[in-house]
Amino acid sequence: MLNRRMHMNWRGLAWTVAIAVVAAGCSSDTTTTTTSTTGTTPTAGPGKKTDLKIALIAKSSTNPVFLASRTGAEAAAKELGPKNGINITIDWLTPQQESGEEQAKRIAQAVNSGDNVILMSCSDAAKVTGAINDAVAKGVPVMTFDSDAPASKRFAFYGADDDAVGAQVMDELGAQMGGKGNVAILAGNQTAPNLQKRQQAVKDEAAKKFPNIKIVSTFYHTETPDDASAAVRNAMSSHPEINGWAMVGGWPLFARSLLDMDPSKVKIVAVDALPAELDYVDKGVAPVLLAQPVYDWGYKSVSIIVDHVTNGKDVPVINKMDLQKVTKENLNDWAATLQKWGFSGIDQKYLTAAKK
């Protein structure tokens, strides 16, 4: 998953995650955040390290889903440090823009600066696999989340089953369209392995279950709301027959630019359900959102790291994250969940209705 809404552009949306990230200087690519774990702390066992520094290298520091993952990681560090007799530091080394080459540099930076573990979402698996393997060879274990590098020596991955995600997007969209029509796929970064799997799964599911649905084309774009919205507008202009969008990420819905679309003519099903996206559900433009619990990308990943690296436990290599379906029926409750996860910018009408 996870997410809020507001009348905001991409930069404004980055503030939707109400986290210490912003106060700590989120505009800096490489800000290091140290989460205090002082207080009543159990004594570490024999041979157990008392400090755990985790480099967090997500895809983009301007993407609110990764700001949410940072919030979750810092919350886990604060909670699990005292419980395990260690001080956990989250070293935020995420590039501002997506770049596999830059991520590879950040991996080397983490190793050279003495980080104990690396947690990352891969922009381009082919370009980071070598750097991951080098880090592991130097004694720094690596875990991935959201977007994996399965051919690397990372010890675990936490995230959605991307084949299942793509199939679910198509199933939901096919139901909304009555099993017929012309569908476009919005697929973000063409080199991201998780998005490649999702868009292919959309095609496979359409071919298998919806003979009266035609896939018009797949549209790639830079993963910002403005670029994604432009990709949708341009596609609709060049292919006016499009009456359904399978969005394997929610990028254009992070802004309000597509709210004027007529839900009686075009249906959207998208992955993610951040605060800015909730109005799309309310207005019927996107009757179904498939939310990723993006807070858990950080929280649960840090928990897995502590289990494996600090406590020496065996952990599964693949740790599956299920999506949560968001519709008008549970929209208010989902808004309340987002607020609990630390998101701001949520329209008060949803939060008020959730309390009734």
* 259 within 8 A of 266, measured Cβ to Cβ: no
Amino acid 65: pLDDT: 84
What is residue 254's DSSP assignment?
Answer: G
Lowest mean per-residue pLDDT among 17-31, 133-147, 340-354: 17-31
Residue 8 has pLDDT above 50, yes or no: no
pLDDT tens digits, 258-282: 999 999 999 999 999 999 999 999 9
CB under 8 Å to 155, separation ≥6 — which residues?
A: 141, 142, 143, 308, 315, 317
**0.85 exceeded by pTM:** no
CA torsion, points 337, 340, 342, 343, in degrees to nearest 10?
A: 30
The Cα 54–Cα 110 span in angstroms is 9
Residue 33 has pLDDT above 60, yes or no: no
Residue written as tokens 């569908």? 183
The Cα 188–Cα 26 span in angstroms is 23
User: How many other CB atoms are there within 10 angstroms of residue 319's CB atom?
Assistant: 16
The mean pLDDT of the chain is: 88
Six-digit token pair at 132?
A: 């991951």
pLDDT tens digits, 184-234: 999 999 988 889 999 999 999 999 999 999 999 999 999 889 999 999 999
- Taking alpha carbons only, the member of 174, 143, 355, 133 closest to residue 269 is 174
pLDDT tens digits, 79-109: 999 999 999 999 999 999 999 999 999 999 9
CB under 8 Å to 260, separation ≥6 — which residues?
A: none
Residue 256 has pLDDT above 80, yes or no: yes
**Structural domains of the chain ordered from first start:** 10-159+295-320 (3.40.50.2300), 162-291+324-354 (3.40.50.2300)
Residue 18 has pLDDT above 90, yes or no: no
Residue 17 has pLDDT above 90, yes or no: no
Amino acid 175: pLDDT: 97
Lowest mean per-residue pLDDT among 18-22, 179-183, 237-241: 18-22
* 226 within 8 A of 10, measured Cβ to Cβ: yes
Amino acid 49: pLDDT: 67
- Taking alpha carbons only, the member of 89, 85, 82 closest to residue 110 is 89
With bands split at pLDDT 50, 70 and 90, how would you rate the model's confidence at 355? Answer: confident
When pLDDT is averaged across residues 54-65 and rounded to a whole number, the result is 92
What is residue 44's DSSP assignment?
Answer: P
Amino acid 335: pLDDT: 96
* 228 within 8 A of 208, measured Cβ to Cβ: no
Lowest mean per-residue pLDDT among 14-28, 88-102, 123-137, 167-181: 14-28
